[in-house]
Structure 1
Amino acid sequence: MIETTNGRTLKTTRTSLRILELVLEHDGLTLAELDAIVDKPKSSLHGHLATLLECRYLVRDGQTYVASFKLAELGDRARPVELETVATDTVERIAEDTGEEANFTVFEHGRLLLLHGSSNQAVDQEGDAPFRTEYYLHNTAAGKAILAELPRERVDRILDEWGMPREIEATITDRERLYDQLGEIADEGYAIIDEEFAPGLVAVGAPVHADGEIVGGLSIGGPKYRINMTRLHGELAAELLDAVDEMETALDA
């Protein structure tokens, strides 16, 4: 997957895209609300909003700018249909077989983007991760497993771009310590996280390939009080690796 480009980039385009991301993140923003978030002249922000409105990426609801249906349509077109079908079937089966949460995330630009997730368990207050659609690699099971397969130079580029923010007490923020773990993960073929992403959450993850390239990561996890390390390294890791083999066979067919 593409990470970066070496070509010239435009600050104006970056600003427009950032505004679009903020509108999506906040489920709509007024000009005044956007002005309080983005350090740009209000006239400049208004120009970006007007352009996004004219190009039909935003619509207005009174004074509030919200994402348009056109944007949703573009998102649907961008979804990899074959990968989504295979991932959805696999994730749903794993969740049913294990009784735990399963997720497939796409690996793109040094981040993981949620394609499909499922859980057959009732909501747990302890051990539940906050719902997100985008993840770092350094503190997620699928992310670490992917990093373990990449050349060190590419890992360095990803960490240089996105950093290693501490999202919870146990999050690893030291590169050398992470590199030590990546060596062990490469030998195992899967990665484990132990409360590195959210309190009480443990998970096992592995990369998924298509035509020899990493396309994403599959993971199984849940609350630590229900999943001990023996089960994580044993039953769940075996279930995960079998599922990865099945996915890769289907994607390469």
Structure 2
Amino acid sequence: MDQRDTEPNTPVKTAQTTFRIVETLKSLDGATVTELAAELDLPKSSAHNYLQTLEHEGYVVNSNGTYEVGLRFLDLGGYARARERLYRVAIPELKRTADSTGEFANLLVEENGLGVFIARERGESAVNLDSYTGQSVHLHTTALGKTVLAYLPRDRVEAIIDRHGLPAMTDRTITDRVELFEELDSIRQREYAYDREERIKGLNCVAVPVLNDDDIAGALSVSGPVSRMDKGRIDDDILPELRRAANIIELNRAYS
């Protein structure tokens, strides 16, 4: 089992609480001290002390009594992304793919058992989506994530499922472990994955792997409305474009 899927031997409770507070502020899109304390079952005095400390350090801002995640996290996220070699070499091809297809082109990597969008480029016809750079998603809910899972060792995938489960995002999300592994076998054989409204209703997506030798480095996708992402267009236009882009990214990553 990957060490990232195991609990720490001696967890630091205050650190865990701090991160729970930050994640809760994000999920609630801001909260008062009372709301946060109720959500996390904390004494109001403790919630207030945590929030004041985070505000003093610049990680939280207080807007008329409502605490929100601060932009200092953007600095950390930008730094982490800039260190990712795949991101640096992929951006030009991601932009070309978005321009060529007119849709959203996306780059995702796996970290701690979740998929993280490290780059997204918008084509001129792309629809508005809930996704954003830095967002984490369950891997089984997207074409990108299923592509990554398909190229990971079986025991690693099992550990990810044990840790994060297989929650449903729509009525089309795969939530059965056996069904998921059958899907992953098919993806590995054909070397691409579909997402047919499995995370967002009305949205289809197709993804291909970006490999580092035989290991998965990430996945590249194009996503768009069902009305434009039919099988004919995907097979004839989008998949060839994605494969071209992935090939160039792999070469540039290997030899840059």
TM-score in same-fold range (> 0.5): yes
Q: 1:109 matched to which residue of 2?
A: 112
Cα gap change, 1:246 to 1:169, in 2 (>3 Å): same
Query: Cα 1:89–1:17, aligned 2, differ >3 Å: closer, same or farther?
Result: same
Q: How does 1:10-49 map to 2 (within 5 A)?
A: 10-49=12-51
Partner of 1:57: 59
2:102 is matched with 99
Could you list the per-position Cα deviations for residues 199-251 of structure 1 after superposition, in whole angstroms to 9, with x for gaps in the alignment? Answer: 22211112223466433211012112112113323432221122111111111
Alpha carbons 2:103, 2:125 under 8 Å: kept: no
Q: Does 1:146 align with 2:148?
A: yes
- Deviation for aligned residue 1:173: 0.6
Q: Residues 222, 27 of structure 1: CA spacing in aligned structure 2 closer, same or farther, 3 A cutoff?
A: same
How well do the aligned residues superpose, as a CA RMSD in angstroms?
Answer: 2.3
Q: Which residue matches 2:180?
A: 178
Distance 1:149 1:123, change over 3 A: closer
Q: CA deviation at 1:99?
A: 1.9
User: SS in structure 1 opposite 2:4?
Assistant: coil
- Distance change >3 Å, CA 147–CA 12, structure 1 → 2: same
Q: 1-side partners of 2:65 and 2:152: how far apart?
A: 47
Cα distance, 1:27 vs. partner?
Answer: 4.5
Query: Structure 2 stretches of 5 or more lacking a match?
Result: none
Q: CA deviation at 1:66?
A: 3.2
Instruction: Name whichever of 62-71 and 72-81 sits farther off.
Output: 62-71
The answer (yes or no) to whether the contact 2:104–2:126 under 8 Å persists in 1 is: no
* Aligned CA distance change for structure 1 residues 186 and 62 (closer, same or farther; 3 Å): same
Aligned partners of 1:165 and 1:173 also within 8 Å? yes
- The answer to whether the 8 Å contact 1:129/1:199 transfers is no
Partner of 1:130: 130
In the TM superposition, what is the alpha-carbon distance from 1:90 to its structure 2 partner? 1.6
Letter in structure 2 aligned against 1:98: T
Asked if the contact 1:208/1:217 (under 8 Å) is kept, the reply is yes
Compute the TM-score of the two structures, normalised by the length of structure 2. 0.87
Identity of aligned residues (%): 36
| Aligned-residue offset at 1:174 | 0.6
Question: 170-179 vs 83-92, which deviates more?
Answer: 83-92
- AA at the equivalent of 2:151: E
Q: Which stretches in structure 1 are left out of the alignment for 5+ residues?
A: none
Structure 1: distance between partners of 2:113 and 2:189: 22
Give the 3 Å change call, closer, same or farther, for CA 169–79 of structure 1 in structure 2: same
The aligned counterpart of 1:7 is 8
Q: Deviations over 1:152-211 (max 9, x none)?
A: 111111111111111111111111011111111111111111121212221111222346
Change (3 A) 1:220 1:160: same
Segment drifting more, 70-79 vs 183-192: 70-79
Per the TM alignment, residue 114 of structure 1 is displaced from its structure 2 partner at its CA by 1.4
Secondary structure of residue in 2 paired with 1:79: helix
Q: CA 1:122/1:206 → structure 2, altered by over 3 Å: closer, same or farther?
A: closer
- Contact kept, 8 Å, 1:142 with 1:205, in 2: the verdict is yes
Q: Which digits, 9 at most, give the CA deviation of each residue in 1:131-157, with x for residues without a partner? A: 352211112111111111111111111
